[in-house]
């Protein structure tokens, strides 16, 4: 599969595992996201998935987010910073309310 349309930055901090997604989250790239989650999640207290750089999401991308959100026997997952495109799709499909969102940082 061509994964060149999605970049995944994985950062392990003392507070959480951070996955930052940039590009298209679709049929061609969801396996890379699932893999990044699966190989890095052990031993973490929390996982944060940053969606600010996601420029496109299709139904397989939405399904991957739902799977990550509800994976049994893993630490809690929270999502942050959905791009405008992703936020609109999640709102229209009713998925936004299903995912766990981090509280916005105070500035």
Residue 4: its pLDDT value, please?
Answer: 61
CATH topology of domain 6-93: Transcription Regulator spoIIAA (3.30.750)
Rounded Cα distance between 31 and 53, Å, is 18
Report pLDDT for 2.
45
The answer to whether the CB of 61 falls within 8 A of the CB of 31 is no
pLDDT value of residue 92: 95
Confidence (pLDDT) at 14: 86
**pTM score:** 0.88
**pLDDT of the residue at 5:** 87
Using CA atoms, how far apart are residues 72 and 2, in angstroms rounded to an integer?
29
Domain edges within the chain: 6-93
Q: What parts of the chain have a pLDDT lower than 70?
A: 1-4, 104-107
Mean pLDDT of the chain: 91
Tokens 């987010």 -> residue:
65
């Amino acid at each position: 599969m061509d994964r060149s349309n999605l970049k995944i930055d994985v950062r392990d901090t003392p507070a959480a595992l951070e996955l930052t997604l940039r590009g298209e989250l679709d049929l061609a790239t969801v396996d890379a996201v699932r893999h990044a989650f699966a190989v890095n999640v052990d031993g973490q207290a929390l996982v944060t998935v940053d969606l600010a750089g996601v420029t496109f999401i299709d139904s397989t991308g939405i399904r991957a987010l739902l799977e990550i959100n509800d994976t049994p026997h893993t630490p809690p997952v929270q999502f942050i910073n959905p791009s405008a495109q992703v936020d609109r799709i999640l709102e229209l499909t009713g998925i936004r309310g299903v995912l766990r969102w981090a509280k916005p940082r105070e500035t």
